[in-house]
Amino acid sequence: MKRCDLCDCLAKLYCESNEANLCWQCDTYVHSANLLAAKHSRTLLCHVCQSLTPWTGTGPQLVPTVSGCNSCVSNLSCKEERSSEAGDHVGDNIDVDEEE
């Protein structure tokens, strides 16, 4: 399990510039600090296996999304299993750009 380098909870994304695994909260904290930090490109981690996904984002704050790596996404599309993560309030702001 990858953990957030700052607060030790589950890592949700990886910042290449910082070489750090971060959760949503710490991502916002770190990347809203200044304009340069907001330009960091962050790669979302798969919510199943925590490997890097094709999804990236920049800006002071990333909208929390559930993302999967290629292998997990293809697995899930067969099984249609929807596991609700306890204590993980994603909200109804899910905004994934599904670009090919």
Asked if 6 touches Zn ion (CB under 5 A), the answer is yes
DSSP for 30-72, written as a single string: HHTS-HHHHT--EEEEPTTT--EEEEEE-SS-PPP-----HHH
Tell me the window of 58-66, 71-79, 83-91, 92-100 that interacts with Zn ion (CB under 5 A): 71-79
* Nearer residue to Zn ion within complex by CB, 16 or 94: 16
Query: According to the binding rule CB under 5 A, does residue 11 interact with Zn ion?
Result: no
Give the span between the Cα atoms of 41 and 82, in whole angstroms: 29
Work out which of 13, 14, 21, 40 binds Zn ion, going by CB under 5 A. Answer: 40
The stretch among 12-20, 57-65, 74-82, 85-93 that binds Zn ion (CB under 5 A) is 12-20
